[in-house]
């Protein structure tokens, strides 16, 4: 059964009592909350998320998301994120419950899921071949990822490049992509048929609208991808778009700086990252136009010359 198949009554009952249990990529989640508007947004963004049976699927993260009590309930409504009885963040405004949940889950994964090498990158796939987009904030990573997905690439993740140590495959974690500030109207014009979530004003990252993962990406979240390209995007408003080959040694160093847990994984992380760089073509993408950047990436994927 899928999250979108639950009635509102059943959705609220599960979340308020034993917990709503569903799968997101390689992670099993248990969520307890009584926030009805948040649940409506969650169901709208992830209708294809598979629900889990409690007896057969132990969960990696047990999350509670509820309103803060006391005087704040009336004067300054806030929401608090808890994971396994611990709260790692200060409260957010109550109307920002969904972005808090998304960012809180990112924190859980990035700080504890060390069974794989975790890169800070978007990952998309076409014809079984994975494209890794490692980047620092402000590079245009999410916008480029969203643009490629709107053109038919499969979304593995907007945030995590999950590299399995045993075979070097990329594991999918298809979740909502947080578009920020100027990228929101850009994508809404560029890809008007995609599913966009509510508008969240004045978050800690500015104006945010989430782009839902396509149904096909959720349906294929059991299918890994073989790494083929590593592209470091860098957006410059009005700049010339060009794809420049990157030496593998430099790409290796940059990936270390874009990893959540390279230092934690020690020799295993070194071996996995070495194998990744050895099997991928590496590039720097100077990006001045979303359309031009997508054209450059698709020409590369089709085997054309740059």
Domain ranges for the chain, please list them: 3-112, 117-301
What's the whole-number mean pLDDT along residues 285-306?
85
Which pLDDT value is given to residue 55? 67
Which pLDDT value is given to residue 306? 40
What gap in Å lies between CA 250 and CA 123, rounded to an integer?
20
What's the whole-number mean pLDDT along residues 188-193?
94
pLDDT of 81 above 60 = yes
Which pLDDT value is given to residue 303? 84
What gap in Å lies between CA 71 and CA 78, rounded to an integer?
10
pLDDT of 136 above 50 = yes
pLDDT of 305 above 60 = no
Tokens for 253? Answer: 């160093």
Q: Please write down the HEC assignment for all residues of the chain.
A: CEHHHCCHHHHHHHHHCCCEEEEECCEEEEEEECCHHHHHHHHHHCCCCEECCCCCCCCCEEEEEEECCCCHHHHCCEEEEEECCECCCCCEEHHHHHHHHHHHHHHHHHHHCCCCEEEEEEEEEECCEEEEEECCCCCCHHHHHHHHHHCCCEEEECCEEEECCCCCCEECCCCCEEEECCHHHHHHHHCCCCCEEEEEEEECCEEEEEECCCHHHHHCCCCCEEEEEEEEEEECCCCCCEEEECCHHHHHHHHHHCECCHHHHHHHHHHHHHHHHHHCEEEEEEECCHHHHHHHHHHHHCCCCC
Give how far Cα 28 sits from Cα of 25, 38, 66, 250, 265, Å: 8, 19, 20, 35, 22
Phi, psi of 100 (to 5 degrees): -65, -40
pLDDT tier for residue 73 given thresholds of 50, 70 and 90: low
Which pLDDT value is given to residue 138? 76
Which pLDDT value is given to residue 239? 81
**What value does the mean pLDDT of the chain take?**
93
What's the whole-number mean pLDDT along residues 191-220?
95
What's the whole-number mean pLDDT along residues 200-207?
92
pLDDT of 80 above 80 = yes
Counting every residue written for the chain, the total comes to: 306
pLDDT of 192 above 90 = yes
Cα–Cα nearest to 160, from 195, 110, 112: 110
Q: Express each pLDDT in 231-269 by its tens digit.
A: 999 988 778 899 999 999 999 999 999 999 999 999 999
Structure-token match 């611990």, residue found: 86
238 within 8 A of 195, measured Cβ to Cβ? no
pTM of the model: 0.93
Q: Express each pLDDT in 84-126 by its tens digit.
A: 989 999 999 999 999 999 999 999 999 999 999 999 999 999 9
Which pLDDT value is given to residue 304? 47
pLDDT of 71 above 80 = no
Which pLDDT value is given to residue 139? 82
pLDDT of 54 above 80 = no
């Amino acid at each position: 059964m899928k999250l979108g198949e639950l009635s509102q009554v059943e959705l609220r009952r599960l979340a308020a009592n034993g917990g709503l249990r569903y799968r997101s990529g390689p992670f099993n989640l248990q969520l307890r909350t009584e926030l009805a508007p948040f649940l409506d947004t969650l169901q709208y963004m992830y209708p294809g998320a598979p629900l889990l049976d409690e007896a057969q699927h132990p969960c990696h993260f047990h999350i509670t998301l509820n309103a803060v009590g006391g005087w704040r309930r009336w004067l300054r409504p806030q929401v608090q994120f808890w994971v396994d009885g611990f709260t790692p963040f200060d409260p957010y405004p109550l109307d920002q419950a969904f972005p808090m949940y998304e960012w809180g889950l990112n924190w859980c994964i990035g700080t504890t899921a060390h069974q794989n090498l975790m890169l800070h990158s978007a990952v998309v796939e076409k014809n079984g071949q994975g494209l890794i987009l490692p980047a620092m904030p402000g590079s245009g990573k999410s916008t480029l990822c969203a643009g490629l997905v709107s053109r038919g690439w499969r979304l593995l993740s907007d945030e995590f490049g999950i590299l399995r140590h045993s075979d070097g495959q990329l594991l999918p974690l298809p979740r909502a992509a947080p578009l920020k500030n100027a990228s929101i109207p850009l994508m809404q014009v560029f890809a008007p048929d995609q599913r966009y979530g509510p508008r969240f004003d004045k978050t800690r990252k500015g104006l945010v609208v989430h782009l839902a993962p396509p149904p096909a990406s959720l349906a294929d979240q059991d299918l890994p991808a073989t790494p083929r390209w590593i592209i470091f995007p860098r957006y410059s408003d009005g700049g010339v778009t060009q794809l420049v080959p990157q030496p593998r040694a430099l790409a290796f160093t940059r990936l270390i700086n874009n990893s959540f847990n390279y230092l934690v994984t020690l020799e295993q992380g070194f071996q996995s990252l070495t194998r990744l760089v050895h099997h991928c073509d590496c590039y720097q993408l100077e990006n001045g136009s979303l359309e031009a950047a997508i054209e450059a990436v698709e020409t590369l994927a089709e085997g054309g010359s740059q």
